[in-house]
């Protein structure tokens, strides 16, 4: 007597790659354009593709955030003349959802728009403004936030995927631009701007990832 078993082993397709592009800040200093890259942003990205429609994603991105009142359309900001430059290191994790099936198990060229969201945290320097000049507090903090990313990606070769994305980060902090000092004793006399609006920053750029992992295996016993 013979018994035939049919077993399907699901593939796990992973991606590793880089992000390169630009960043811009939206807050109480400088211009308020949402997509206006003015500093280099670079980082690494990893994905775990769980289905043709979604994947888990983590990333690390480094950039300088800079803003200058002289480049604002608001005459009050131009008259004030504040500016700052601060480095941040962002860690992000969440889910990427594809609008169309993006099945990496088949060797075909394909393309799809996608969205990504999750949680971010940015490690940044603390500073405040003293007589119009940014002054370091000699401390650093974590700014948590939510990424809102829209992009399009294409599989052009067997293992390489190219993408273009724009991602805004809404943070739960108003300290990235120095408008609200981190130190309690500085808050009353050195805060400015709209205390009801938290800081945003945006990454715009390209991703290039390399795919690897097991394709589906169908085995008979």
pLDDT digits 0-9 by tens, 44-99: 999 999 999 999 999 999 999 999 999 999 999 999 999 999 999 999 999 999 99
Q: How does the average pLDDT of the chain come out, rounded?
A: 91
Give residue 196's pLDDT. Answer: 85
Please count the CA atoms within 13 angstroms of the CA of 141 that sit on its side-chain side: 18
Q: Determine if the pTM surpasses 0.75.
A: yes
What Å distances lie between residue 3 and 8, 105, 217, 218, 220, CA to CA?
Answer: 16, 29, 20, 16, 10
pLDDT for residue 220 is more than 80: no
Segment 182-186 shows an average pLDDT of: 92
CA dihedral 53, 122, 168, 188 (to 10 degrees): 150
Model confidence band, residue 149 (pLDDT cutoffs 50, 70, 90): very high
Spatial distance between the Cα atoms of 123 and 125, rounded to a whole number of angstroms: 7
If we measure between CA atoms, which residue out of 132, 55, 124, 68 comes closest to residue 95?
55
Q: How far apart are the first and last CA of the chain?
A: 13
What is the per-residue pLDDT across 33-54, written as a single tens digit (0 to 9) for each?
A: 989 999 999 999 999 999 999 9
- Sequence-distant (6+) residues with CB within 8 A of 150 are 113, 114, 115, 165, 166, 167
Spatial distance between the Cα atoms of 10 and 4, rounded to a whole number of angstroms: 20
Here the tokens at position 33 are 């354009």
Cβ-contact 94, 57 below 8 angstroms: yes
Least confident of 2-16, 78-92, 166-180, 201-215: 2-16
> SS3 of 209, please?
strand
Spatial distance between the Cα atoms of 141 and 187, rounded to a whole number of angstroms: 15
Give residue 174's pLDDT. Answer: 95
Opening angle at CA 131, ends 129 and 137, nearest 5 = 35
Q: Give the DSSP H/E element, type plus range, for residue 145.
A: strand 133-155
Give residue 158's pLDDT. Answer: 87
Segment 200-212 shows an average pLDDT of: 97
E strands along 3-109, which residues? 6-9, 12-26, 39-49, 54-68, 83-98
């Amino acid at each position: 007597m013979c018994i035939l078993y049919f077993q399907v082993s699901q593939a796990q397709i992973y991606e590793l790659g880089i992000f390169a592009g630009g960043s811009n800040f939206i807050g109480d200093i400088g211009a308020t354009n949402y997509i206006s890259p003015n500093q280099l942003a670079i980082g690494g990205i990893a994905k775990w593709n769980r289905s043709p429609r979604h994947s888990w994603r983590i990333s690390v991105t480094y950039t300088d955030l800079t803003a200058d009142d002289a480049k604002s359309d608001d005459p009050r900001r131009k008259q004030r003349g504040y500016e700052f430059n601060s480095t941040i290191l962002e860690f992000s994790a969440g889910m990427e959802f594809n609008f169309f099936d993006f099945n990496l198990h088949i060797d075909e060229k394909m393309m799809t728009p996608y969205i990504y969201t999750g949680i971010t945290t940015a490690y940044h320097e603390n500073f405040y403004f003293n007589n119009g000049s940014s002054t370091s507090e000699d401390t650093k903090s974590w700014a948590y936030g939510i990424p809102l990313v829209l992009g399009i990606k294409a599989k052009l070769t067997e293992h390489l995927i190219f993408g273009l994305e724009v991602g805004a980060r809404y943070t739960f902090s108003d300290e990235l631009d120095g408008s609200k000092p981190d130190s309690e004793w500085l808050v009353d006399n050195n805060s400015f701007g709209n205390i009801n609006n938290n800081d945003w920053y945006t990454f715009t750029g390209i991703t290039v990832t390399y795919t690897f992992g097991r394709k589906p295996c169908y085995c008979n016993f």
